[in-house]
Amino acid sequence: MIAQIAPPRHVAIIMDGNRRWARERGLPAVEGHRRGIIALREVTRAASELGVEVVTVYGFSTENWRRDAKEIAFLFDLCVFFAKTELGELNRNNVRVRVIGDWEALPAGSRNALADLQRKTAANTGLVLNLAVNYSSRSELERAVRSIARDVAEGRLEPDAIDDALIAQRLYTAGVPDPDLLIRPGGEQRLSNFLLYQAAYTELIMSETYWPDFSREHFARAIEEYAQRQRRFGGS
């Protein structure tokens, strides 16, 4: 059991380093992605134990379409695998899954599996697990702007009524608090087109540990580090 401390409400995670983890071990990239599922399971358990309300993980970006076709096909198969094998675990831990991004553009098998996972966990009242799939923060913002512009053009919205709250309502994360903490395993030091609007005042923790090795203990240490920080939200 992880010691209880005051947790962030919303933790975002860029699950990075799967391919490098596999390459350094002489394994195919797909094995790194498979091990990443285990890491996600452990971190989700830890987040639930700590009282985190929302975890949003970057599963598949729109830029990932540039990868090798076989790897992409495996990632789609992994969506189906995750949806089927993790359902029992998620329900036991009262976790509700939401999928954000343009995930409905995925192949039918993956799309249907993710829709089924959301439906079968919809009644759960504990941790919300947002899976960002076929996600791009810039595309999300474009989508929000188009939606607002359409309402203005059709007379349903006055331009002076556009504010931060309205924009937030048009994002995939509508109804969810902005992330308090963003963790990026894998050693990179960038956001990679992930939650750019929502992360304006998010605390960042970058870890050298590859995602497949990122354990519940790593997660707990990140939460402890977050608890030591003083958030000012742009103030003095």
CATH of the domain at 69: 3.40.1180.10
Residue 165 lies in a domain: no
Q: Is 85 exposed, middle or buried (0-12, 13-18, 19+ CB in 10 A)?
A: exposed
Q: In the numeric block, which tokens belong to residue 205? A: 């923790």
Please state which of the ranges 51-65, 87-101, 177-191 shows the lowest mean pLDDT. 51-65
Mean pLDDT calculated for residue range 131-157:
96
DSSP per residue over 66-123, as a string? GS-HHHHHHHHHHHHHHHHHSHHHHHHTTPEEEEESSGGGS-HHHHHHHHHHHHHHTT
Residue 2 lies in a domain: no
Size (the chain), residues:
236
Residue 181: pLDDT over 50: yes
Residue 122 lies in a domain: yes
Task: Please report, rounded to a whole number, the percentage of residues in the chain having pLDDT higher than 90.
Answer: 78
CB distance 124 to 96 below 8 Å: yes
Mean pLDDT calculated for residue range 48-56:
96
Residue 154 lies in a domain: no
Give the residue numbers marked as catalytic. 16, 64
Q: Would you give the distance in Å from CA 85 to the centre of its chain?
A: 19
Residue 236: pLDDT over 60: no
Q: What is the pTM of this model?
A: 0.91
Q: How many domains does the chain have?
A: 1
Please state which of the ranges 44-58, 61-75, 140-154, 179-193 shows the lowest mean pLDDT. 61-75
Residue 204 lies in a domain: yes
Residue 117 lies in a domain: yes
Per-residue pLDDT, 23? 95
Domain that holds residue 50: 10-135+178-227
CB distance 216 to 45 below 8 Å: yes
Residue 202: pLDDT over 80: yes
Residue 25 lies in a domain: yes
Per-residue pLDDT, 81? 85
Residue 125 lies in a domain: yes
Please state which of the ranges 43-47, 120-124, 226-230 shows the lowest mean pLDDT. 226-230
